[in-house]
Amino acid sequence: MTAPEDSCAICEIDDKGEKYRVCWGLVNGGRPTSEFPSHLMNHEVKKAASNGAHRVIYHAHPANTIALTFVLPLTDEAFTRELWEMATECPVVFPSGIGVVPWMVPGGRDIAVATSELMKQYDVAIWAHHGMFCSGEDFDLTFGLMHTVEKSAEILVKVYSMTGGAKRQTIQPDEFRHLAVDFGVTLPEKFLFEK
C-alpha cells in the first residue's frame, strides 16, 4: 500500500454515537467500509462488557478459519471445541470460546446486531464464509488472539486433509479441566462435552 490515506481512516464518533467525522484518511473519495456498523456495535458492547478495557475491534478474512465454516457445524460449541483441541494454548488464549454467525449479507444492521450479541460473551466471532472479528485491550493482544485462532484453524485444516476428519488422539474434557486449573482460567462446561 503506497497511499494508506486513500483507504485507511481515523474517525471520531459523536457523543451520541450517531455520527462520525473523518479526522484523517479516506482522501480521493474513500468511504468507511460497509462493515463500519459492525465495528461500532462491537466497540459499544465490548466497552461495556470489559469496563472500558477493550479498545480494539479487529476484522480480517483468515483463509483457514473461513474454510472451516464449510465443514464444521456453524455452532459456538463445534468451533470452540475443535479449535481448542488443536493447540494447548487455545483454551488459555480464548477461554470464553468462539461465537459463530451463520451466513448473512455483510455490511448491514442484521449481521452487526448478531455479531454484537455474540461479543457480549466472546472475544471472537466468526462470520460464516467471510471472516472473523476479535476484540482486545490493545492491538498486540487482539492481533495475537486472531493469529492464535487462525493458527489453530490451520492445524485443523491439515488434520482434516490428512485424515478426512478422524483424529487418533486429542485433548479430552478432563484434560481441559486440569489445564484450566493450572492456568487459572474458567472454561465453560458447554464446550467440554464427551464426543
Dist. CA 183–CA 175, nearest whole Å: 12
Q: Out of 5, 12, 18, 35, pick the active-site residue.
A: 35
- Residue 137 exposure: Cα atoms within 13 Å on the Cβ side: 4
Burial of 139 (0-12, 13-18, 19+ CB in 10 A): exposed
> What are the beta bridge partners of residue 153?
none
Class of residue 96 by CB neighbours under 10 A (exposed 0-12, middle 13-18, buried 19+):
middle
35 is catalytic: yes
What does the DSSP 8-state code read for residue 108? S
Would you name the residues annotated as active-site residues? 35
